[in-house]
């Protein structure tokens, strides 16, 4: 029997590594854990999971076909559970960093219902930020 405990990693393809690293490292505070430039891979730590950033024209990236676009995304969305935060402060932080924000909503996820917001990364991938219930 298989029992999934948490997300292990996701892989996102990009044409703009700098912008992706600014979003995931600079805004969301996911540090670089490992880089394999010969493969075009940068792995970021996201709590207990990893986010792999792969350059589209690299060895790994070419396996995924054409570059991601809004009419041909390679991912519907990913959800990152984040530590407890006050919603107004989080909205202000995201806005200050040039991230378009909407209102928080109550949504169901791995740890039950909780408040979350959707934002877009520089490649148009939808990222749900869900405030931890713990």
**What total of structural domains would you count in the chain?**
1
In the structure encoding, which two tokens stand for residue 88, read together? 């107004």
Q: To the nearest whole number, what is the mean pLDDT of the chain?
A: 86
pLDDT tens digits along 40-75: 999 999 998 999 898 888 877 777 777 777 666 667
Residue 97, domain extent:
9-131
Residue 3 lies in a domain: no
CA torsion, ordered 108, 50, 72, 107, to nearest 10 deg: 10
| pTM given for the model | 0.77
Q: Environment class of residue 45 by beta-carbon count within 10 Å: exposed (0-12), middle (13-18) or buried (19+)?
A: middle
Residue 1 lies in a domain: no
In the structure encoding, which two tokens stand for residue 54, read together? 């792969």
Residue 116 lies in a domain: yes
Higher pLDDT, 28 or 61: 28
Residue 48 lies in a domain: yes
CA distances from 18 to 3, 42, 81 (A): 36, 11, 24
- CATH code where residue 69 lies: 3.10.180.10
What confidence category does residue 2 fall into, taking pLDDT thresholds of 50, 70 and 90?
very low
Mean pLDDT of 118-122: 91
The DSSP secondary-structure symbol of 2 reads -
Residue 43 lies in a domain: yes
């Amino acid at each position: 029997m298989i029992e999934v405990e948490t997300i292990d990693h996701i892989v996102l393809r990009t044409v703009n590594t700098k912008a992706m690293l600014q979003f995931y490292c600079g805004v969301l505070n996911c540090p670089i854990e490992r880089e394999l430039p010969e493969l075009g891979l940068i792995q970021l730590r996201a709590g207990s999971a990893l986010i792999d950033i792969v350059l589209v024209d690299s060895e790994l990236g070419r396996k995924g076909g054409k570059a991601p676009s809004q009419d041909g995304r390679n991912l519907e969305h990913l959800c990152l559970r984040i530590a407890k935060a006050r919603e107004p402060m989080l909205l202000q932080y995201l806005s200050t960093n040039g991230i378009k924000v909407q209102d928080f909503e109550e949504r169901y996820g791995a740890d039950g219902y909780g408040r979350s917001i959707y934002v877009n990364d520089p490649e148009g991938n939808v990222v749900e930020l869900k405030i931890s219930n713990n």
